[in-house]
Copies of this chain bind each other. A is one copy, B any other.
Amino acid sequence: MNGLSGLERAEVLTQALPYIRYYNGRVIVVKYGGNAMVNEELRQQVMEDIVLLRLIGVKVILVHGGGPEISDIMNRLGKKPEFVDGLRVTDKETASIVQMVLAGKVNKELVSMIEKKGGTAIGISGIDGRLIVAKMKDERLGFVGDVTKVNIKPVNDLIESGYIPVICTVGTDKEGNVYNINGDTAAAYIAGALNAESMILMTDVKGVMRDMNDKTSLIPELSVEEAEKLKKDGIIAGGMIPKVDCCVKALELGVKNVVIMDGTVSHSILTELLTDDGAGTLIRKA
């Protein structure tokens, strides 16, 4: 790559023109977190992609989780993480730690990275401006929340003022309780409330594959109907099921399309959005 001349670079830029034109002015919600977020260098690239999208006029929102950091701090605080059906059991103290780690550590690190890349970001949580209103999902899990309402005004205000909103997915209720909210679901609700063009779910797999062991079996595009069929046929299975369900939910909430994408691959967002090569699996309503 170093060998590319200025002209060759200019040509690459102009070849991206139709894509840039298409996304200019549209809303894209990027959900980034968990296992996709582990590598520092990749994290920087994702932030670069986001800053570039903003500069070419995309209204981009970053929604993030941070499971590994939460567990790490919990362990250091002498609080043993516990899970039921893959969901973190969240007593009051755990909820407070989740809030602290997501809103105070992960969120600000992402904001800081975006700003180093030249963007201007403001990081908020679901508590700020009552963005994410939640209720308890299951008493046994404690303060694990289901989204009951999204007050999207703070996000719109930040976009209008020119910032990249960076959102961590803790929720709140009228009594001021704090809830641990599934990041994918929160992103779906936020993207829906914004009538987003796209929601991009960054995970650690390539997308929906016919055969998990065959990297060439990636399905580039799916309708909701086809996705439901693949679930019945057992091809969409395991951890991919909630991902796909969340995508379907997002489409129901008004998002135009959803892409499941491998966040552990360099610049996968730009590759998907601004080049002929796609990345991951795009799911659309019909």
Interface residues of A (CB under 8 A from B): 1, 4-18, 20-21, 24, 45, 48-49, 51-52, 55-57, 73, 76-78, 96, 99-105, 107-108, 111-113, 115-118, 120-125, 127-130, 153-154, 157-158, 161, 163, 170, 172, 174-176, 178, 265-267, 270-271, 274-279
Contacts and interface: CB of A to CB of B under 8 A. Distances in A.
Contacts of A8: 1
A105 B99 contact: yes
A116 B121 CA distance: 27
A277 B175 CA distance: 26
Given A96-B105, A101-B104, A104-B104, 16 more contacts: A6-B277, A7-B266, A7-B267, A10-B271, A12-B13, A13-B270, A17-B52, A20-B56, A57-B57, A99-B108, A100-B104, A112-B176, A121-B129, A123-B128, A154-B161, A154-B163
Contacts of A279: 6
A6 B276 contact: yes
Contacts of A157: 157-158, 161, 163
Contacts of A51: 17, 21
Nearest to A48: B14
Nearest to A22: B118
